[in-house]
Amino acid sequence: MGGSQAPIGVLALQGDVAEHRRMLESLGAPVVEIRQCKDVTGIAGLVIPGGESTVMDKLTRIFGLYAPLRDLIAQGMPVLGTCAGMIMLADRLDDAISGQQTLGGLDVTVKRNAFGSQKESFDVALNVDDIDGGPVDVSFIRAPIVTHVGAGVRVLATLPTGEVVACEGENILALAFHPEVTGDTRLHERFLDIVAREQFQADIHCES
């Protein structure tokens, strides 16, 4: 696992922010919660947590974060997206609501809420490519799935029924599930390795 002196930003407008923060800090990574544009300056990578993707989309635009984050992702900033975070990183959605936008950056198509309502949530031990130590314990909570994978995107995990639930672009790790809920740190360690490799530092201009 790698590390970085520059902080990891966790998008903190909505969703399971605290769980990601605790896991990253347990691995020795400094963390800053991102609520407005000025919080983004200097971060080495970004985590987009689970939550409600439509609400997250609206709030990024209300708080002036949509354009800066989209630009930084396009520039190659390392990003980990879990559940709603995967939806936010997809270039395309199968079932977007009217007016819904994503930050994009990952050449995939995603279907939101592919497993139904909250009561259809489940935990599973999932085999993930390039993760040592056996299956990863994860939670699926109103989870999406990837329905199309574009060039340059690698599938890391599928369910036994074939649905793609984890994939990786050059600097993006997108997961349909929640490793931060079950406490397995290995995917966050993988993300921190990407951060350490890329040595990215966000430099943006915020509108006053």
Catalytic residues: 83, 178, 180
Q: Are 75 and 108 in contact (CB under 8 A)?
A: no
Q: Are 180 and 20 in contact (CB under 8 A)?
A: yes
SS (H, E, C) the chain: CCCCCCCEEEECCCCCHHHHHHHHHHCCCCEEEECCHHHHCCCCEEEECCCCHHHHHHHHHHCCCHHHHHHHHHCCCCEEEECHHHHHHEEEECCCCCCCCCCCCEEEEEECCCCCCHHHCEEEEECCCCCCCCCEEEEECCCCEEEEECCCCEEEEECCCCCEEEEECCCEEEECCEHHHHCCCHHHHHHHHHHHHHCCCCCCCCCC
Residue 174: both structure tokens together: 């997108």
